[in-house]
Amino acid sequence: METIIDAHNITKIYNPDTVPVYAINGVHLHLEEGEFTALVGPSGSGKTTLLNILGGLDRPTTGNVLIGGVDITQLSENELINFRLRNIGFVFQSFNLIPVLTAKENVEFIMLLEKRKRSERAERAGALLKQVGLDDKMDVRPSQLSGGQQQRVAVARALASKPRFILADEPTANLDSKAASNLLDIMAKLNKEENMTFIFSTHDQRVIERARRVITLVDGKIDSDTAAVKVE
């Protein structure tokens, strides 16, 4: 199995010079291709901080994050933006779709940044929206979609650049239980059929039950991990 993420001795201290908050305290983590892993823990345990560091949206105070052998903590801001664009798909709790764009244009947007041809963009966006069951909503704007439908567009968008893995921070937090279960079905299908790696945070027990590996954070430390972790 190919290594997706190797994180060594991650710490994150917010406001180190005023009122320090020790959000992450010495996390080692090894994730492999094809994982369907939940990051769980009480509110304030550091889930969002850790996901943001693993995805290069934030930098750790100490430690290294290797993705496909590249230490992203050593990249410049511009290099990091490019690296994220090509390697990592993101799904957020609040969907974060661009309101003035249609579902299809939202999915195409990343491919536009990647300077892909119009025909390729349109074809791939259409295929991805079909995969998440939204072939009849291509030309609709986010405001006309339910929360569950918007989050499915967000998953299609995350897939658009063919990322190595998808990070999802509480993707079901704003969904009712039926929409949450439907979203998990789609993520699980993409994991099984396309071997797409997913790491998602949640505190919903029904979502936790769907994970194949569960990593529990308490006070910024890994409290338990249902898979054997390689700590070096």
Ligand X SMILES: Nc1ncnc2c1ncn2[C@@H]1O[C@H](COP(=O)(O)OP(=O)(O)O)[C@@H](O)[C@H]1O
Q: Which residues contact Mg ion (rule: CB under 5 A)?
A: 47-48
Residue 149 or 172 having the CB closest to Mg ion: 172
Residue 41 or 63 having the CB closest to ligand X: 41
- The position carrying tokens 């693993």 is 54
CA-nearest of 48, 54, 44 to 21 is 44
Binding of ligand X by 46 (CB under 6 A): yes
Q: How far is the CB of 48 from ligand X (least distance, A)?
A: 3
Q: How far is the CB of 7 from ligand X (least distance, A)?
A: 15
Binding of ligand X by 47 (CB under 6 A): yes
Binding of ligand X by 199 (CB under 6 A): no
Interacting partner of 63 out of ligand X, Mg ion, none (Cβ under 5 to 8 A depending on kind): none
Binding of ligand X by 101 (CB under 6 A): no
Q: At what angle do helices 118-131 and 147-159 cross, to 10 degrees?
A: 130
Q: CA 192 to CA 136: how far, in whole Å?
A: 24
Binding of ligand X by 21 (CB under 6 A): yes
Residue 41 or 142 having the CB closest to ligand X: 41
The SS3 of residue 109 is helix
Q: How far is CA 81 from each of CA 85, 86, 98, 161, rounded to the nearest angstrom?
A: 6, 9, 19, 13
Binding of ligand X by 23 (CB under 6 A): yes
Q: CA 217 to CA 221: how far, in whole Å?
A: 5
- The position carrying tokens 């949206």 is 57
Q: Which residues bind ligand X (CB under 6 A)?
A: 14-15, 21, 23, 41, 43-49
